[in-house]
Structure formats: C-alpha cells, structure tokens
Structure 1
Amino acid sequence: MFSIYILTYNEELDIAACIESAMLSDDIVVVDSYSSDRTVEIASSYPVRVVQHAFESHGRQRTWMLENIPPKHEWVYILEADERMTPELFAECNQALQNPSYIGYYVAERVIFMDTWIRRSTQYPRYQLRLFRHGKVWFTDYGHTEREVCDGATSFLKQTYLHYTCSKGLSRWIEKHNRYSTDEAKETLHQLENGKILWWDLFFGKSEVERRRALKDLSLRLPARPLLRFIYMYFLLGGCLDGRAGLAWCSLQTFYEYLILLKIWEMKHMPILDLDTQSPDKKVTTVKNKGVGF
C-alpha cells in the first residue's frame, strides 16, 4: 500500500471524482491552497485528511507537503485534482514498490481534451515522477511547474493516469495559462542567461525525460518558436491525426508559446506592473523596471 497526496486550489468540479479514483489507498491527503470555493467542503465529506497551506510555488508546495505531512506508508503518490488514478495503475504501483532497486517511478499521462485522448500531439508517452519513497525525493521550481531531485535510481511504469486538462472549461484554462506564461517567460530569460543545451541528452538521453528536457532547452533558443511548435506538434508528431480536438490543442499550445514570447519582450523593454501570479491569493503588487535591450 502507498499514500496518495492530492494538490488542490478551487477544484470543486474535480475533487470528488479525483478522490474516488484514489480510494483504493487507505491514506489520502488533500493539500489545499486555501480554496475559495467548495473544494474543502467536498473533500471533507470523504475519509481523507485535509490540510491547508498557502501556495508559494509548485515546487515549494510539494516540498512543504512532504516535509510537514507525514504519510501513513513509506511510499507516496502525487495526484493533481484534474487527474485520475486507475485500478490498473494502482495495481502496478503496488507491484513496483516491492522492488528495492528504485526509489521512484515515472508515470505517463493521457491528456483528455474535448472528450478525446490527445495521443500524438502531447508527445505521448510523456512522463512525470509520481510514485516514490518518502524522504528520497524533493522538488525545485522550474518555470510554472517543478522538477524533481532524486536520491537514488528511478524507473518507469507501463500504466498511465488520465489528465482532464480542460475539465473546468476553456476560460479557466486560458486564465491558468496566462499565469503560467509569466513564470515561463521568467524561466526562459533565466535559462538564456545561465543555462545551456545538453546535446548529449538530446540525442542519446537514457530516458524520455532527459531527451524532452534537452529539447525544451534547445527550443528556448530557436526563432519563430510558436510557428515551429505548431509544425512540430501538428505535423511531425501527428496531431493532425487527433482530429478536431488535436487541431484545437495544437492551436492553444501555439497561442501559449506566443504569449510567453510577448511577455519576454515586455519584461525586457517595458517598466511594467509586476503581479505575483504564482499564488492566486496573493494581492501584493510592485512596479519594476525591467530594463532595455533585447
């Protein structure tokens, strides 16, 4: 058996289905970032632990959770509210944690958009570290999301989890990615100044994770990134075979990439009002001069 952490913020539309998919575990912990909707009320109606902690960033929230909320079991799984655990994945997780050779496992997502599995243009199988031994993994921030730091060897599971990436509607998706694009713009500027392309990992990386991360580092330095991303996703990856949902998905990702570029230009050329968008409940605003020159 393993414990399951569920991260939430204003997830009243998803939290019940998420918890119910995870109830094969006897230890579920909902870590809520002070939701203003009925998320906590709904979660509290299930036999789970509910803990609230103010959101700082994705990496810090996960690290705080692991350090301050002891799980019942040695192994833990991290689940987002718009994701679903499956019985097949749960069974494979239980088998995997019997292997003493690894301290963590990557699991691939199946993105569900417009009631369609977007198999091709999402780079499936695209893996995230989800199952791991408690105390052996922690997280750091990277753009709008996080990256794991592992103290030991890791491997990959065959079963997948469902990710309903637009389950709360297109308006919520656009609002969320507007915030994400600010963090991605900041991370892009940081990587352009301090990062480098890991060419060996790009061509000979041992895993999909290493190759994908090296590809992202390369993409940050390419011209016409939004157009190249659309061509890569829609034609090279085969998004054109994902039907109407695939076209919509590729178009939204192209828009998101263009928004990141616009915010990079804005940060470098204009004194702008800098909102702390990492936390929806932070209200502090400051004005910063970003300097000139591109």
Structure 2
Amino acid sequence: MSEQDNTRPWTPGVAPVAVVMISLNEAHNMEAVLANLEGWAQEVFLVDSHSADDTVDIALRHGVHVVQRRFRGFGDQWNFALRELPITAPWTMKLDPDERLSDELKRNLADAMRRGEADGFTMQRRLWFMGRPLPVRNDILRVWKSGRCRFSDVLVNEHPLVEGTIAHVAGDIEHHDSPDLEHWLHKQNKYTTAEALAFVQGATVNVPRKLLGSKEGRRAWLKLHFFKIPFRYLLVFLYYIVFKGVWRAGKVGLIWARLRADVYRYREYKIIEMGITGRRPGNVRFGIGRADARVPQFD
C-alpha cells in the first residue's frame, strides 16, 4: 500500500468502529457521508476503483485512509478490503457513499458495540428517491467484530457472511439512491448488466436456493425462477405499490415502483440478448475523447 497524502488525519470518533466504503465516481456523495461520520467513527477507509471525479481528493482532505484497486466484482472488492486494509478498530462497518446514519442508529450502535453482546448487528435501511423518503425498509447486516466476516464471492449483490451471533439494533440507515434520475438510470443499467452476466455464467450465490430458507436463499430462488412467472412485471409493480405501500409516497412512489419493475425487465432482456448473440454487453465506449492530431481541428 502506498503512503497516504492526507492533509490531516481522521479524528477518531466516539464509536469503536472502522467504517469501510468502496467507490467509483462518488464525489457527489463524499462530503455528506464523511460529515455524517465525523465525530462518530474511529476509523474510515475507502477502496476506490480509479474514480474520474474528485472522490479521492475529498476523501483525503477529510483524513480518510484511501487505497485504489481495479474493480473485478463487488464480492471480490469487499473481501480485498477486509483482508488488506489496516483496520485496528474492534468493530467494522460496511457503508455505501450514498448512505447516512440516523442519530438514533449512531447512539444505539455505539452502545451495542461497547456491550459486545453479539458478533454482528443488523439494522433497517430506508430508501430515499427524488429527495423524498419512501416507505421501503429492509433489514441489513452491516456491522461485525473485526476479522469475523467475509463476503460472498459474487459479481454483484454480495452479502456479508459473519461468524457468530447476530442481534438487531434500532435506527435507520438512509439510502439516498442517486442525486438525479439520469444517475439512477446509468447505475441500474450497469447493475442489470452485471446481474445478467452472472446469471448467464451460472455464478454461485454461496447460499442454498430455497423459497423457505434464509432471506438470501429466498432472493436467490426467486431470481432463478422469476422468468417462469406469468405477469411477472405487473406483479413486481403491484408488490411495491400494495405490499410495500409506496402508494403513500404519491407520484414519487408510483414512479419508483414502475422503474423497479423495469429493472427486472432490463435484466431479463440482457440475458436473452446474450443467449442470442453470444456476446457480453457493455463493450461500447461512451463520452467524448481527445482530439486526434492526425486530422484538422475546428472550433
């Protein structure tokens, strides 16, 4: 690892935890997420996948320990982070740059880690979309005793595998899902490509695919059999509208539910495309390149 060029070191906070993030072009989130962690986290680490924006500059300015590594998959990147980062805090927390910890969660997590009554902790994550909270929450495992966790070695949709007992802590992680719809669509396009590729390659999920099994096992079973379900996209839309109750968020909720159904549709279409063409998607370059000195240039 290279020596850090920080302008100042991270000031240890009150919670005995190392917060670890991975990033690619997250400058739009870095100031807010680091402000959210200041005074709370003992250590903050970032594994950056060679961002083209100011992600690394902002992180270093705040005293974050930053390393860079080529991205090969989410499970691979997280296992590298847990294996190679010089974590000294007794607890480790996985956090995404677009997530924020509520004050209630900070207090409860700090207390739970000091008591040490479990080896890992789950909490609720609440989704925000278009700047508004949605009534969509899910339990996620994000904190564990340092050295007690590894991640499922998958391309996308990785999950932590923690040794020992798990307890729940009250309080929300707010998931601010993209600054605008253009960013959201770009991100979902990348995720659905990765999911389709993993499906075609027959990537393992490290859990038994059982409808009556664990949460990860149910999700894996549903993804495997989803294409056989009649009216599946309508059912996805209705699931979010009725069962998850996003109708309570008004127009924003309706838009989000429709887009979530579309994400499932895009994944299926990409799987079909790869089966027809035999080619992996995503090899086309986008954006503006450099001027070519071999040809005349005009303003």
Structure 1 position 179 matched with structure 2 position 190? yes
Which residue does the alignment assign to 1:97? 113
What residue identity is the alignment partner of 2:22? L
Where 2:41 maps in the other structure, the secondary structure is coil
Q: Distance in 1 between matches of 2:119 and 2:277?
A: 46
**What's the offset of the Cα at 1:218?**
5.3
Report the equivalent of 2:160.
148
**2:44 paired with 1:21:** no
**Is the contact between residue 73 and residue 155 of structure 2 (CA under 8 Å) also seen in structure 1?**
no
The answer (yes or no) to whether the contact 1:188–1:220 under 8 Å persists in 2 is no
Give, in angstroms, the shift of residue 16 of structure 1: 0.7
Query: 1:225 deviation in Å?
Result: 2.4
The answer on whether the counterparts of 2:44 and 2:64 sit within 8 Å (CA) in structure 1 is: yes
1:3 to 18, 30, 34: 18
- 1:146 alignment partner, SS class: coil
Is 1:265 equivalent to 2:281 in the alignment? no
Name the aligned partner's letter for residue 269 of structure 2: L
Task: Quote the Cα distance in structure 2 between the aligned partners of 1:29 and 1:139.
Answer: 17
The Cα RMSD (Å) is 2.6
Larger Rg: 2
Alignment match, 2:247: 240
Q: 1:239 to 1:130 in 2, by over 3 A?
A: same
1:287 paired residue number: none
1:10 aligned partner, one-letter code: N
**What's the CA shift for 1:65?**
0.6
Structure 1 residue 160 displacement after superposition: 1.0
1:5 and 1:30 in contact (8 A); partners too: yes
User: Which residue of 2 is the match for residue 284 of structure 1?
Assistant: none
Aligned residue-pair number: 267
Q: Matched residues in 2 for 1:177 and 1:94: separation?
A: 33
In the aligned structure 2, how far is the partner of 1:51 from the partner of 1:197? 35
Contact residue 192 and residue 266 of structure 2 kept, 8 A: yes
Contact 1:196 1:217 in 2 (8 A): no
Q: 1:68 to 1:196 in 2, by over 3 A?
A: closer
The equivalent of 2:55 in structure 1 is 39
Kindly indicate whether residue 150 of structure 2 is the aligned counterpart of residue 134 of structure 1. no
> Aligned partners of 2:159 and 2:46: how far apart in 1?
21
**Which amino acid letter does the alignment assign opposite residue 90 of structure 2?**
E
What 5-or-longer segments of structure 1 have no aligned partner?
A: 281-294
Residue 142 of structure 1 and its aligned partner are, at CA, apart by 4.2
Contact 2:76–2:155 (Cα < 8 Å) also in 1: no
Q: Give the distance between the partners of 1:148 and 1:235, measured in 2 at CA.
A: 30
Q: Distance in 2 between matches of 1:142 and 1:223?
A: 28
Whole-angstrom distance in 2 between the partners of 1:64 and 1:235: 40
Change in Cα spacing, 1:195 to 1:163, as seen in structure 2 (3 Å) is closer
Q: Supply the distance in 1 between the matched residues of 2:222 and 2:123 (Cα, whole angstroms).
A: 20
**CA offsets per residue over residues 53-74 of structure 1, 9 Å max, x none?**
2211111111101110121211
Alpha-carbon contact 2:274-2:281 (below 8 Å) kept: no
Which ranges of 4 or more aligned residues in structure 1 deviate by more than 4 Å? Answer: 194-197, 208-218
- Contact persistence 2:76–2:154 (CA under 8 A): no
Alignment correspondent of 2:11: none
Q: Distance in 2 between matches of 1:233 and 1:243?
A: 13
TM-score, normalization by structure 2: 0.80
In the superposition, relative to structure 1, how do residues 33 and 197 fare at CA in structure 2: closer, same or farther (>3 Å)?
closer
* Cα pair 1:83 1:161 within 8 Å, conserved: yes
SS of residue paired to 1:185 = helix
Shift of the alpha carbon at 1:200? 2.7
Deviation at residue 46 of structure 1 after TM alignment: 0.9
For 1:74, the aligned partner's letter is P
Secondary structure, counterpart of 1:26 in structure 2? strand
Match of 2:171 among 154, 159, 170: 159
Matching residue's letter, 2:86: P
What percent identity do the matched residue pairs reach? 26
